[in-house]
Amino acid sequence: MALSKLEKPNWHAYFDNMSRLLDGKRVEVEVDALAIGGQVQAEWLPLIGITYDPKDDIVNVALEGLQHMIHKPREVFVDQTVVDLNSVEVIDTDDYRHIIKLRDPLMLSR
């Protein structure tokens, strides 16, 4: 695993490219802040995609049945290997940490 910071000019292209590769992943979204503590917003829902809209300055995590929007993101960190994205952490201007964990769906045998 390698944690790295993404520079803001690269967010749009990075998320556009990664969303194509994340089809079928399950996602847990947790929001941590001093004001609210740690709160799970979504538990292992199917991921539709993650995008960054530079015009409105929003990171959008689209899940099956849920949109998690992060307004005014300040920093983005990704934990990835050569072949897989494990997590994304987005820190907004209010110092809320939005932690997006990814995993492959559990494959059950017949």
Q: Residue 108: what pLDDT?
A: 64
Token pair for 13: 């292209």
Report how far residue 29's alpha carbon sits from residue 48's, in angstroms, rounded to the nearest whole number: 13
Report how far residue 12's alpha carbon sits from residue 60's, in angstroms, rounded to the nearest whole number: 11
Domains belonging to the chain, first-starting first, are 2-103 (2.70.180)
Q: Residue 27: what pLDDT?
A: 96
Task: Record the pTM.
Answer: 0.91
Per-residue DSSP letter, 83: S
Report how far residue 26's alpha carbon sits from residue 62's, in angstroms, rounded to the nearest whole number: 11
Show pLDDT as tens, one digit a residue, over the chain (110 residues): 578 999 999 999 999 998 778 878 999 999 999 888 999 999 999 999 999 999 999 999 999 999 999 999 999 999 998 778 899 999 999 999 999 999 988 766 66
Q: Residue 92: what pLDDT?
A: 98
